[in-house]
Amino acid sequence: MGKCEKLLREALNAPANLRFSDLCRLAECYQFVLRKGGGTSHRIYKRSGFDKLLNFQDDNGKAKPYQIKQLLDALRELGEIAD
């Protein structure tokens, strides 16, 4: 199993335990590009062909569960993962 598949499995099965850096890495696995941030607690991601921006916020090294859900919902909408 590849690194991206492992991160996706973690996000689906245990979203409360996902680290912020892993959430960002997972977004990048699916061609989301960092548009703004990097030096702050917020990072904004965009993907070509997807109109919505994803705004992730570092919460003491952890990803916020609702932001993980937003990424997973976006991946479902894009047809990258099944329901």
Model pTM score: 0.91
Query: What is the average per-residue pLDDT within 12-24?
Result: 94
The two most distant CA atoms of the chain are separated, in Å, by 34
CB atoms within 10 A of CB 54: 20
CB atoms within 10 A of CB 49: 6
25 pLDDT exceeds 90?
yes
pLDDT tens digits, residue range 39-54?
A: 677 899 999 999 999 9
Question: H helices of the chain, where?
Answer: 3-13, 20-29, 65-77
What does CATH list as the number for 3-77? 3.30.920.30
pLDDT tens digits, residue range 52-79?
A: 999 999 999 999 999 999 999 999 999 9
Sorted by where each begins, the domain ranges of the chain are 3-77
